[in-house]
Amino acid sequence: MNNNKKFVLLARSVGKGAMGSVFEGRDPKNGNIVALKRCDGQEDKRGKVEAQNLEKIRSKNIVRFLGYGYHESHLYIAMDLVVGEDYESFLNKLKSPLTWMEASKDMRQVMQGMKAVHSLGIIHRDLKPANLMRKQNGDMVVVDFGTSKQVNAVSAACATMVGEFVGTPVYASPEQHKRAALTAACDVFSIGVIFVEALTKKLPFL
């Protein structure tokens, strides 16, 4: 892993989730503005797994990993700063649902990105509009690999362990709710839920 790469933390917050806060940062080597996700408290171990998984993925539809390091005992993950808005805010602002053409254009890109993820044997387990970014040019980028898991080196077809619930209930697959074995199918299910939401502005399983 690209350990302890130095980035300068800037004050501006670009997003906040349950497990971390995302700030702007600067790469002193080239002056580029980047995103720095602070993995809070006991989520440190999870943050390392997030960094490890993200580092392996190369797709224009998956946020690009730049490195990680520590600042004041917090683990930070450096990524490309995605300029645009999260898909949840984008959908909330719409007065009417997206057309079939519009929604499929967005979801096709998410599927392209996830195809690259699944081909490495990694599953995301928490695909939802808040974990998708829509760039100003309409390009879609999947973020937040904080719940991701390496399940199989060749394909994500092999099941994960059974146990604790991971995900967001309204987007999660039946097997996640049952705390059963998970495969890449759980991500495909969540993309289906997001697709329905984009087409109807309603959640199918609420």
- Binding-site annotation: residue ranges for ATP: 37
91 binds ligand ATP (CB under 6 A): no
CB of 74 to ligand ATP, least distance (A): 13
Active site residue 126: yes
> Which residues, 143 to 162, sit near Mg ion by CB under 5 A?
144
> Rounded to whole angstroms, how far apart are CA atoms 205 and 48?
33
> Which residue in the set 23, 25, 35, 190 belongs to the binding site for ligand ATP (CB under 6 A)?
35
> Rounded to whole angstroms, how far apart are CA atoms 177 and 6?
40
Q: Pick the catalytic residue: 86, 106, 126, 144?
A: 126
190 binds Mg ion (CB under 5 A): no
Query: Rounded to the nearest 5°, which phi and psi values hold at 174?
Result: -55, -40
> Which residue in the set 51, 54, 66, 79 belongs to the binding site for ligand ATP (CB under 6 A)?
79
Among 143, 122, 193, residue whose Cα is nearest residue 19: 143
> Which residue in the set 113, 121, 146, 167 belongs to the binding site for ligand ATP (CB under 6 A)?
146
Bridge partners, 24 (sequence order): 35
Quickly list DSSP for 93-142.
H-SSPPPHHHHHHHHHHHHHHHHHHHHTTEE-S---GGGEEEETTS-EEE
86 binds ligand ATP (CB under 6 A): yes
> Rounded to whole angstroms, how far apart are CA atoms 11 and 166?
31
Chain positions contacting ligand ATP, by CB under 6 A? 14-20, 22, 35, 37, 63, 79-82, 86, 126, 130-131, 133, 143-144, 146
Chain positions contacting Mg ion, by CB under 5 A? 17, 131, 144
